[in-house]
Structure 1
Amino acid sequence: MADPAHDRHECDAAVSLAFSVLGKRWNGMIIDALGGGSLAFAEVRRAVPGISDAVLSDRLSELAEVRLISRTVSPGPPVSVTYALTPGGEQLVPVLDDLGRWASANLAPAAPRE
């Protein structure tokens, strides 16, 4: 039986919003990399093999804009920038872990494209 307090349209909108952020390539891997603590740009790049500097920069900006990560600039010299999960980003880590376990158990790998 459906929960009368559950507004299906609100839930659908929230899930759509979540996947508009999390569904972008690399975002989950970036969040996972930052799950171990704050990292500098180059450290994030090493933790996410295959991502270009330009795409990483874009994704970090997007994740900061939606407040899943924070960006801290230390004036230096040399100037350094570190990225860390916000409390909201930290709450997402176990959700992504659960999603990964679910996917492994329930989704067949895609067939190679020719």
Structure 2
Amino acid sequence: MRTVRRPGSYVCGIDSAMDVVGGKWKGLILWALHQRPHRFGELRRELPGVSEKVLTDQLRELESDGIVARKAYDEVPPRVEYSLTPLGESLNEALLPLGAWGSEHILGQVPGR
């Protein structure tokens, strides 16, 4: 788990944003949840290579930051879905230009072509 920093300890907005989305899997979790709510197993299948422990930890951190909502249904067998909160949706909107930059410059693709 990451260390929670006090609001005054950040150098700038990028520093605080990277504290929320930093790590290998959080951006990919946000991308998957942007499409629709997912159950844990669905997320695991969409993110090959992520361990159950790491996915659980990352989802908990995103939930504690108010980015992801976890909804448990009172069913047998138990069902839990993860979705983006309005704050998470706004974060995804902020990450769209970064994704477009990566597609254009790293993957050699030009968006819209």
Structure 1 length-normalised TM = 0.78
Segments of 5+ residues of structure 2 without an aligned counterpart are: 1-7, 108-113
**1:105/1:83 CA distance change after superposition, 3 Å:** same
Structure number with larger C-alpha Rg: 1
Measured on the aligned residues, the alpha-carbon RMSD in Å equals 2.4
SS of residue paired to 2:49: coil
> How many residues are matched?
101
1:52-75 deviation per Cα after TM superposition (whole angstroms, max 9, x unaligned): 000000000000000000000111
Segments of 5+ residues of structure 1 without an aligned counterpart are: 1-8, 109-114
Indicate the residue corresponding to 1:29 in structure 2.
28
Give the counterpart letter for 2:60 in structure 1: S
SS of residue paired to 2:35: coil
Sequence identity (%): 36
Asked if residue 49 in structure 1 is aligned to residue 42 in structure 2, the reply is no
> Partners of 1:65 and 1:101 in 2: how far apart?
28
Structure 2 length-normalised TM = 0.78
> Partners of 2:76 and 2:9 in 1: how far apart?
48
